[in-house]
Amino acid sequence: MNVLIVEDEPLMASHLQLVVEGLGYAVVGAASTAEAALALVRSQPPDLVLMDINIDGAYDGVETAISIRELHQCPIIFITARYDEQSFLRASRLGPANFLLKPFEDNQVRRAIQLASSSPAPVAAAPPEEDAHFYVKVGHKLRKIAIAEIHSVVADGHYCAIHTQANRYLIRMSFQEVQERLPAERFLKTHRSYLVNEQYVESVDLRDSEIILTNGQRVPLAKREREAFLRRVDKFK
């Protein structure tokens, strides 16, 4: 079995490599950034990935794992130094083989790898069904909006604005709470206050750093999110 290690702490990466090789498996490479990890996946597709959630760079381990899954299906074991509810929920949607919380014992790593190697690769959670929805208040009524209808989400103080093809609704929910409820493989972060549904992206204005959606809405594309966004959208590869 070939294993890819994605870890930005050199000592931890070296230690993981020793554990993996001690089990008789080969390490195809150790990457400290998403870019390096994706290059290794393209050149030497691994059978298993050990992925640190909190890697340095423009995108974290969860975003990197999503991109890896777009290139190659294999089990992923997530590693983190702290329990972060938001990251855990995002990672869980990908159907990981296991989670390892630092500091961990060598036998925990061995057990996680052995379980992953003896089980079928987990399948990422399916996109929400059409009845997955939000309820929003409109006048004196509550209206159900399917997640599939949502074009974008915009943070607005203690509220979030939900944009569909023809309407805008305010819901009393934080941006983080909304992001946790939406499928990471479909909704892309373009700015600290914006999420867009990839299926409704009509075009991208690279000069003005804006994304134009099918409902005519123009959404900013922040410099720090630009590379990750363009990499996620196949047409820009």
Using CA atoms, how far apart are residues 145 and 58, in angstroms rounded to an integer? 32
Task: Note the CATH number of domain 133-236.
Answer: 2.40.50.1020
Using CA atoms, how far apart are residues 129 and 60, in angstroms rounded to an integer? 27
Tokens encoding 12? 């931890």
Per-residue CA distances from 223 to 19, 59, 189, 230 (Å): 38, 12, 12, 11
pLDDT category at 227 given cuts 50, 70, 90 is confident
Using CA atoms, how far apart are residues 201 and 28, in angstroms rounded to an integer? 36
Average pLDDT over residues 11-38: 94
pLDDT category at 140 given cuts 50, 70, 90 is low
Predicted pLDDT at 235 = 45
User: pLDDT tens digits for 70-118?
Assistant: 888 899 999 987 666 667 777 877 788 888 888 888 999 999 998 888 7
Per-residue CA distances from 197 to 91, 100, 168, 183 (Å): 19, 31, 15, 10
**Confidence check: pLDDT of 218 > 90:** yes
**Confidence check: pLDDT of 237 > 50:** no
Predicted pLDDT at 234 = 58
Tokens encoding 235? 């047409």
**Confidence check: pLDDT of 23 > 80:** yes
Predicted pLDDT at 126 = 46
Average pLDDT over residues 193-211: 91
**Confidence check: pLDDT of 174 > 90:** no
Residues of the chain with pLDDT > 70: what percent?
88
What are the start and end residues of each CATH 3.40.50.2300 domain in the chain?
2-118
Q: For domain 2-118, give its CATH number from 3.40.120.10, 3.40.50.2300, 3.40.30.10, 1.10.1740.10.
A: 3.40.50.2300
What are the start and end residues of each CATH 2.40.50.1020 domain in the chain?
133-236
Predicted pLDDT at 129 = 45
